[in-house]
Amino acid sequence: MKPQAEIDRYTYRVTWSQEDNQCVGLCAEFPSLSWLAATPEKALRGIRKVVADVIEDMRTSGESVPEPLSSRRYSGKFMVRVPPEVHRQLAIEAAEEDISLNRLVSAKLSS
């Protein structure tokens, strides 16, 4: 795969940094990396370049490169622990709506 196509698969975000008074580019798969710039476009361009450079360095040193979130497979299952009172309240709400607890929580998480 071409290096450019590979970095396109990572999860990028650009947000405003009040502290730095600049836009900051971030990559979810590389949480320790960031790039500050005056515009969102430059922040995105910068973080993509940093990610490409880091991937090249990791490969050169024999390190494994993180798999893009977009390529990972998800089962749709995960366990969440909540306080007993929250569990009770959710169970009551599900019963009142005549739906499963799973369906209620899934709806709440996706809203």
Per-residue pLDDT tens over the stretch 42-99: 999 999 999 999 999 999 999 999 999 999 999 999 999 999 999 999 999 999 999 9
The reply to whether 38 and 14 lie within a common domain is: yes
| Confidence grade of residue 2 (pLDDT, cut at 50, 70, 90) | low
The reply to whether 37 and 53 lie within a common domain is: yes
Domain that holds residue 89: 74-110
pLDDT in the model for residue 111: 87
Q: What SS3 class is residue 63?
A: coil
Residue 11 makes CB contacts below 8 A (sequence gap 6+) with 27, 28, 29, 68, 69, 70
Q: Considering only residues 101 and 3, tell me which one the structure prediction assigns the higher pLDDT.
A: 101
The reply to whether 41 and 83 lie within a common domain is: no
pLDDT in the model for residue 4: 72
